Amino acid sequence: MLGGAFFLVLLLVPRHGSGGVMKDPQPGFSDQDLFWGADQYDFAIVLRASGLECFWHMAHQGEQFYFNYMVQWVTGVANDRHLAVTVNSPSGYLVGQADEATGEIKFETKETGFYQMCLSNFHNRFGSLQVFLNFGVYYEDSEHEKKQKEKENQKKEEDMKNLNNTLSTIEESSLKLQSYVFHMWRHYNFARMRQGADYYILLSNSTYVSYWSAALSVVIILSGYLQLFSLKRLFNSKTTTETEKPRC
């Protein structure tokens, strides 16, 4: 996980308290209840049957907000791997939604504040599920800012032709390399989520095959015993005496 030390605690919000979006922290929440900064976070949570949990993440205007999730395993009766996900802006508008077992929500933030992410397990009324989450923000220059910076760079080059620009070149290369490493980490993290989901599916299939193999073995042994018992009764004959003789 990139960034500083993560001392933040997950904010678990019940169904009746998930409607309030915030532009500024409310007095009832401490700094440890909210996700601040431009770092990215990845962790797994367990949603109970028909459960709802919400999180808030701080984002500034012009940043790129992303939210990836994957359902790893489901328990209970009549389970469904679908998960309803919504992302709301600080002013309360819906900016992204998904209703699949695996999904990604990505957009450019239009305002500064706390963006609300809610996960609902209403598809499963009798079973819980584990979800792996990966979300955060990063910054990319807009086209207008790129053009403005190009003009500024041209002016600097004209004014400072005789100066050594090695340091600025190293800085730009470092920023590009940092951006490439960040995106590579995102793709790696998504592949890790998929690998975890495949692992749980493999365990479920192994348990299913083991139970059916044991059941079929019991059926085979029981049918063999019944056949042997039936054949033995066909050849069962009573001993004859002078008083008890076989009748025609």
**Contact of 120 with 83, CB cutoff 8 Å:** yes
Check residue 172 and give its pLDDT: 82
The residue type of 79 is N
**pTM for the model:** 0.54
217 assigned to some structural domain:
no
Check residue 1 and give its pLDDT: 34
**Contact of 21 with 88, CB cutoff 8 Å:** yes
On the CB side of 74, CA atoms within 13 Å amount to: 19
C-alpha closest to that of 1 among 130, 132, 185, 131: 185
C-alpha closest to that of 47 among 9, 91, 97, 13: 13
Q: Count the domains in the chain.
A: 1
Distance CA 40, CA 199 (A): 25
- Spell out the residues 6+ positions from residue 82 whose beta carbon is closer than 8 angstroms to its own: 71, 99, 100, 101, 123
212 assigned to some structural domain:
no
pLDDT by 10s per residue, the chain, length 248 = 333 333 232 333 333 333 333 444 444 544 444 555 557 888 999 999 889 999 999 998 888 899 999 999 888 775 788 899 999 999 999 999 999 999 999 999 999 999 999 999 988 888 889 999 999 998 776 555 666 677 777 777 776 665 666 777 787 888 888 888 888 888 888 888 888 888 888 888 888 899 999 999 999 999 988 888 888 877 766 666 666 665 65
230 assigned to some structural domain:
no
Check residue 215 and give its pLDDT: 92
175 assigned to some structural domain:
no
106 assigned to some structural domain:
yes
The residue type of 242 is E
Check residue 220 and give its pLDDT: 93
C-alpha closest to that of 194 among 103, 95, 83: 103
207 assigned to some structural domain:
no
Residue 15 is part of a domain; what is its CATH number?
A: 2.60.120.380
Check residue 4 and give its pLDDT: 34
197 assigned to some structural domain:
no
On the CB side of 39, CA atoms within 13 Å amount to: 14
The CA dihedral of 176, 181, 187, 188, to the nearest 10 degrees, is 170
Q: Are strands 83-88 and 52-59 parallel, antiparallel or unpaired?
A: unpaired
Check residue 6 and give its pLDDT: 32
Distance CA 23, CA 12 (A): 18
Domain of residue 133, residue span? 1-140
Distance CA 199, CA 15 (A): 31
Check residue 151 and give its pLDDT: 76
